[in-house]
Amino acid sequence: MKKHNFYAGPSILPQFTIEKTAEAIRNFADTGLSVMEVSHRSKEFVAVVDEATKLFKELLNIPDNYSVLFLGGGASTQFAMIPFNLFVKKAAYLNTGAWSKKAIKEAKMFGEVDVVGSSDDKNFSYIPKGYTIPADADYFHITTNNTIYGTEIKHDIDSPVPLVADMSSDIFSRPIDVSKYAVIYGGAQKNLAPAGVTFVIVRNDILGKVTHHLPTMMNYQTHIDKESMFNTPPVVPIYAALQTLKWLVDKGGVEEMHKTNVYKAGLLYDEIDRNTLFKATVEDSEDRSLMNICFVMTEGNEDKEKAFFEYATSKGMVGIKGHRSVGGFRASTYNALPVESVEALVATMQEFEKENR
Ligand SMILES: *Cc1c(COP(=O)(O)O)cnc(C)c1O
């Protein structure tokens, strides 16, 4: 039976990425060696990093005064690297969920943090609005897509201070205006590559202002100066990321991705809104994520949750269990998820409704 992969992360990757990476694991760039066993400083591998950087810049229209880095440590290490590199006297954060909270916790080790808005009061089921960003903050940090709760800031916001964004789970899902951000970062394992590589897009002139000690590996400038080769970068995930970037180019780039993502999410939200057994946890369509779609059983139907999970599993749905802090279900509809998988889930929900009326 065909499997429909709705995992939140690590998550579905293009078949192209998987096949090309498998080939390079056996024979990389006709070297007769595996990509796992060649020097990261070999000309063949340096070419991989160079091309991945180039495609990153092309796909996201990244201006020349920005650097693209491929690091280890996951997005979670960035929670500390951001204040290490940018925190002078005060930072502002928007609290939109578990990942924001973790980022805030790290920033607090550096000094005053102004949490300008929070949706904690309603289990992070909406994006806070009408908050004020203090003009004297060194930077303002947002999590654009809240993977666990299924909310998303789907447009580039205006910020009077340098804007920093965790885009772990919506990078390359839509066009973005990079010039509005000082730093964009994320773990690759949601929409780009296997776990292990972390991307950072950083505006060069934002650096060099902090007065505290900055450990070498925590300093973005270290990695900019050595083009992500200060230490051994995660070579296999970078190789895989390059394949996804090529796939994105071939598919028409982020504009085309966005169209398909809007279509896929629309199919599923429409069914959730129509189906008498299910309801979305995020009510406001403006805040609904295009990447992680969370839904629960409607009132009076809570007892059917386990039955639906088993039914969906029998139809080939994988990874639709909601995060434990939300419950119910979460279907992640990343770039690589085909429309057919969303259609299959919608059909499964309709059949289940018929059988359980
Ligand atoms: C998954 C995720 C993280 C954590 O990423 P790691 O690479 O595991 O550290 C951080 N932020 C968001 C929005 C995520 O989805």
**Domains within the chain, CATH numbers bracketed:** 4-11+252-355 (3.90.1150.10), 15-250 (3.40.640.10)
Determine the pLDDT at residue 357: 80
Q: How many angstroms does the Cα of residue 58 sit away from the middle of ligand 1?
A: 24
User: How confident is residue 114, by pLDDT bands cut at 50, 70 and 90?
Assistant: very high
Question: Whose CA is closest to 207, among 223, 190, 185?
Answer: 223
Is the distance from the beta carbon of residue 292 to the nearest atom of ligand 1 less than 6 Å? no
The whole model's pTM is what?
Answer: 0.98
Q: How many angstroms does the Cα of residue 196 sit away from the middle of ligand 1?
A: 11
Is the distance from the beta carbon of residue 78 to the nearest atom of ligand 1 less than 6 Å? no
Is-catalytic flag, 287? no
What are the DSSP calls for 127-184, one per residue? ---S----TT-S-EEEESEETTTTEE--SPPP-SS-EEEE-TTTTTSS---GGG-SEE
Cβ-Cβ contacts under 8 Å for 32 (sequence gap 6 or more):
none
Query: Terminus-to-terminus CA distance in the chain, angstroms?
Result: 27
For residue 187, the ligand 1 atom closest to its alpha carbon is 7
For residue 187, give the 3-state DSSP assignment: strand
Is-catalytic flag, 190? yes
- The partner residues of 152 in beta bridges, in order of sequence, read 145
Counting residues of the chain whose pLDDT is more than 90, the rounded percentage is: 99
User: How confident is residue 85, by pLDDT bands cut at 50, 70 and 90?
Assistant: very high
Average pLDDT of the residues in 149-174: 98
What are the DSSP calls for 83-142, one per residue? HHHH-SSEEEEEE-SHHHHHHHHHHHTTSEEEEEEE-GGGTT-S---S----TT-S-EEE
Output the six-digit token pair for 133. Answer: 């960003």
Counting residues of the chain whose pLDDT is more than 70, the rounded percentage is: 100
Determine the pLDDT at residue 332: 98
Average pLDDT of the residues in 60-75: 98
Mean pLDDT of the chain: 98
Determine the pLDDT at residue 57: 98
Q: How many angstroms does the Cα of residue 347 sit away from the middle of ligand 1?
A: 31
Q: pLDDT digit string (tens) for 192-231?
A: 999 999 999 999 999 999 999 999 999 999 999 999 999 9
